Amino acid sequence: MLETLQPDAIVNGSYASLSCSQWFQHIRHLYAPDETSWVRSLAASVPSQQVHQASLQAATLVHELRAQREHLPLFERFMQEYSLSSEEGLTLMVLAEALLRIPDRRTRDALIRAEMSHVNWKQHLGHSDSFWVNMATRGLIAGATFASWSQDHNDDPSQRSRTIFEQLVGHSGEPFVRAALQRAMQLLGDQFVVGHTIDQALSNAGRMVSDKICYSFDMLGEAAMTEDDAESYANSYSMALQRIAASQKNDGHPHSLSIKLSALHPRYEESQHPRLISELGGRLASLVREARQLNVAITLDAEEADRLELSLSIFQSVFEQEAIGWGGFGMAVQAYSKRALPVLGWLNQLALEHDTHIKVRLVKGAYWDTEIKLCQQRGLEGYPIFTRKAHTDISYLACTRFLLCHTPGLTPQFATHNAQTVAAITNMADALKPTPSYEFQRLHGMGEALYAHWHTRRNEPVRVYAPVGEHQQLLPYLVRRLLENGANTSFVHHLWDDEVAPETLTRSPLELARDLNYSANSATPLPCDIYGKNRRNSHGINLNISLQRELLFDDMRRWSSHQWEARPITATTGKGALLADKPVIAPFTAQYQVGRSQWFNPDDIAAVMNAGAAGFERWRLLAPRYANQERKAWLMLLASALENHSAELITLCVLEAGKTVQDSIDELREAVDFCRYYARQIDVHFAQPNKLTGPTGECNELYYEGRGVWLCISPWNFPLAIFIGQIAAALAAGNSVIAKPAEATSLIAARAVEIAHQVGIPKDLLQFLPGSGVDIGSAAFNDINLAGVAFTGSHKTARQIALQLAQRNGAMVPFIAETGGQNAMIVDSTALPEQVVRDVLRSAFGSAGQRCSALRVLCLQDDIADEVIRLLSGAMLELSVGDPLSLSTDVGPVIDSRAQHYLLRHIRWLEQHAKCVGKAPKAPEEGTFVTPVAYEITDFEALREEHFGPILHIYRYSAKSLNTLISNINSLGFGLTLSVHSRNPDTASRIERGIRVGNVYVNRDQIGAVVGVQPFGGMGLSGTGPKAGGPNYLLRFATERTRTINTSAVGGNADLLRGNDDLIADEDDITSE
């Protein structure tokens, strides 16, 4: 068993004997250790006296900086006034994020109106001591006033031919406010970008270079979406290397280049690990080879925690191929990562084994909010990063000490804008003899005043990290920088704030953490606790982390040769005629039999319904409190049991339904969430009757109880989640259940029912009938004991069921139907194309397009349609269609040959009536695969029927025809999901109000509704409601009862007498009678 490393021992050099491979194993095992114990050990390794002295020095430095405030750059004064802790600062960030890349004037004006008019700019007037900041505030007030007038006089933005906004501020044909704001946003961008081209950047940097200042250039542009993008980024890096080399001076402190691995390959993710070592590694190796020839150092930027292991593998591969003996190849390490120390240990050992120095840029980390959200969404056990800034600062100082004292193979580069951190680093370095070599780094546009002042007393070199690129490429980088600059806990944010004392600002992180007993931030609960104490989040598995993935795959392999069986499970005593077994074949290969299924004989339906009715009545007559607690306990136990059987159930979802491993994990988690959520709803709706206000002398109560026997008919596309969700809801409301799974996925359902019975759910409350939906349904719909039907499937089948129920003899029963949708995504020109394409790929082609919520028609504003289609077409070429058991597979098979033939027929129709604009690599011949495709259409004729698979329709619209588009979508009759991509909140709100759908998602994909967070269900042809996983769902399974008791019938109204002494008769009056 692998020994658990202790952070303080790492810092003190106790593990110097570990090999590279041993360090890597520890990195794999230290994804998310307990934060409190990890930080306490880190703190023990940091010299507290040196850090305390650094706090005093930093406080003095802050006093001195504030005394020289008149030299403060205008931008820093502006950001001090409009920090991101204010609504006004956030508004400016939104404008900066979108305004420069919106191609059409109409949409730019609409965004300005929406953002400028809803905040109070006047509160900033005269607040700054800068004349120019106050002048800028006056300009913002004027712009907001014009925007407000425009909105007040134009209720329908789509009908304006020339707005009051345009008339009031028109200037030479262009609105003054728009021009002024665009210029302001360009200036804001220029604050963080050193030049639009590498030549311009080198020229601008040349004016700042000295014996203490040099640059590391970063070619702007985030993750590549297509192979063409990756090639373009590689070429820009190559050109930058050549230009940097040509400009170098022989002064011993040369410029360098920073590279993002995500820019060099469109699929930089763990699932593509084998091909990345070759493809991305090859591209990077070529750049490193060129850099070495030119003697220009390269540093790999750090990215998300999911990519850490992958980045280390690629770094090692390229380092051993191209960089041995050079010393110019390095990488960034993030101190907010709990794995930072072992990563430094690994890098040091790699350097020592090859006798080659490695440059290490130590940063604090820039993806904090993304990391937290991903872990919470995935239901992971913990976070790979620290939840308190003080803990990140302690980690940074511990890493610093390790770098200075025990990593002879590494060349440290300390990137920070925090005066306390700067002073602590120099104190630790000065205490060592000889003093180690190191440099500081800062971002272009940040920390300039700090380091300029620092250089009046110290001589450490500073490298400026300087982005290069056009304004349109600035967005992701700018947002991160603004968030860092404006975060409430940021040193930079408070540096010039006189309301924050320098001693408070520079207080030792050791003291801050100790005061809180090194506890994690309670405002950031663990992923399992995000729903509060009443409901535990379902447990997830991060397939990007090798240890978690290998444990799951090892468990799944144990089930690879298992043969499952699905047979009727009933509470009846007699046995009817048995039907023949049917083999169950995996949809991705005819060579794999998953098990056998025996269908229920519909002739026996009456006995099953009678047994269910008897079970319902038996439990209905028990004390409500007891029955409620039993049902709640069953569901909670079922949730835990499903998680305990996770490997088996995930394997079954892959083999029988053809789902990818990630989809199967999500499926299991949703089933668990349904159980826990509905268990909690028992307490909300059934624990106590509702007291109703009425006349005195009566007790009036409304309460809920079960209806009787429910037939739950579930689909094949969510064979576990929806199957369990229907059952759990019906049971929670006090009913008995007849569960009828989809014919194609009976094995998964059977196993779930077996587990349910094992945790104690009685057979007469949960019976299982695999078989023909038509035959079982027809028999059950006419049974007198039927109390309700819950159905998920096509709208055509739902209509047939509704007709049969309407014609049945006996009581009318409720019918809950959740059907499909002709789901749209509307994208205006404020949207970020790269984000749109990522969401389109997931929404349209995830689960092979076999989700009710899946994207069917992408509606693009014509101003950005060409660019989005270009990106989407290239991104589709990177999709992997094939074996769902493979981690690299993005799209698995459709459920069966019938579905496959139906989809291929529609594709043939599209070939004749539409234009193919995107296609994934050809799907395998064996199995029921359909190659994902995208077709551009000119009208909605192709959308009259839902096509349940990986087929995307694309439709262009103009900004002025948005109302027509809304009407066209509504005319389809479906109403399930809608995604809106727009940075304009007014536009998003207008679309949401206009289109009648059940679930609207803004600036994200439209699939993966979370139980209790995004209750799911539609309207029109998409279903009856209420929403599954929502607070009203259980009530549809229950019947309402009212109880009225005449409390005064036994001799007086005691409650009334107790509540009003004036009504009590005087004793003398009583005796006188």
CA-to-CA distance for 1035 and 704, rounded, in angstroms? 8
SS (H, E, C) 222-247: CCCCCHHHHHHHHHHHHHHHHHHHHH
Nearest residue to 118 (alpha-carbon basis) of 85, 93, 160, 87: 87
What is the CB-side half-sphere exposure of residue 146 using CA atoms within 13 A?
A: 20
On the 0-12 / 13-18 / 19+ scale of CB atoms within 10 A, 994 is: middle
Contacts 24+ apart (CB under 8 A), 991-1000: 991/826, 991/962, 991/966, 994/963, 994/966, 994/970, 995/824, 995/966, 995/969, 995/970, 996/970, 996/1020, 997/821, 997/823, 997/1022, 998/1022, 998/1023, 998/1025, 998/1027, 999/853
What is the CB-side half-sphere exposure of residue 82 using CA atoms within 13 A?
A: 26
1029: left (phi over 0), alpha (psi -120 to 50) or beta: left
SS (H, E, C) 517-559: CCCCCCCCCCHHHCCCCCCCCCCCCCCCCHHHHHHHHHHHHCC
Report which secondary-structure segment, H or E, holds 649. Answer: helix 646-657
Nearest residue to 625 (alpha-carbon basis) of 695, 701, 683: 683
What is the SS3 assignment for 949?
A: coil
Q: Are the C-beta atoms of 1007 and 842 separated by less than 8 Å?
A: yes
How does strand 410-415 pair with strand 358-363? parallel
What is the SS3 assignment for 278?
A: helix
| Structure tokens that stand for 1037 in this block | 């399974």
Q: Are the C-beta atoms of 400 and 414 separated by less than 8 Å?
A: yes
Q: Are the C-beta atoms of 790 and 823 separated by less than 8 Å?
A: no
CA-to-CA distance for 693 and 699, rounded, in angstroms? 8
Catalytic annotation, pick one of 270, 852, 936, 946: 852
CA-to-CA distance for 32 and 1003, rounded, in angstroms? 29
Q: Is 852 a catalytic residue?
A: yes
Nearest residue to 379 (alpha-carbon basis) of 560, 573, 525: 525
Q: Are the C-beta atoms of 171 and 423 separated by less than 8 Å?
A: no
Catalytic annotation, pick one of 115, 648, 818, 946: 818
Q: Using the structure block, give the residue that is written with the tokens 């033939």.
A: 901
Interior angle at CA 645, CA 641 and CA 651, nearest 5 = 145
Nearest residue to 410 (alpha-carbon basis) of 347, 477, 474, 497: 347
CA-to-CA distance for 223 and 1059, rounded, in angstroms? 71
Non-local (6+) Cβ contacts of 687 within 8 A are 625, 628
**DSSP label at residue 40:** H
How does strand 999-1002 pair with strand 698-706? unpaired
Non-local (6+) Cβ contacts of 1005 within 8 A are 838, 839, 840, 842, 843, 855, 979
What is the SS3 assignment for 318?
A: helix
**DSSP label at residue 429:** H
CA-to-CA distance for 675 and 210, rounded, in angstroms? 65
Nearest residue to 167 (alpha-carbon basis) of 184, 146, 182: 146
Q: How many Å separate Cα 1055 from the centre of its chain?
A: 55
**Taken in order 284, 285, 288, 293, is the CA torsion positive or negative?**
negative
| Structure tokens that stand for 919 in this block | 């296609």
Residues known to be catalytic = 818, 852
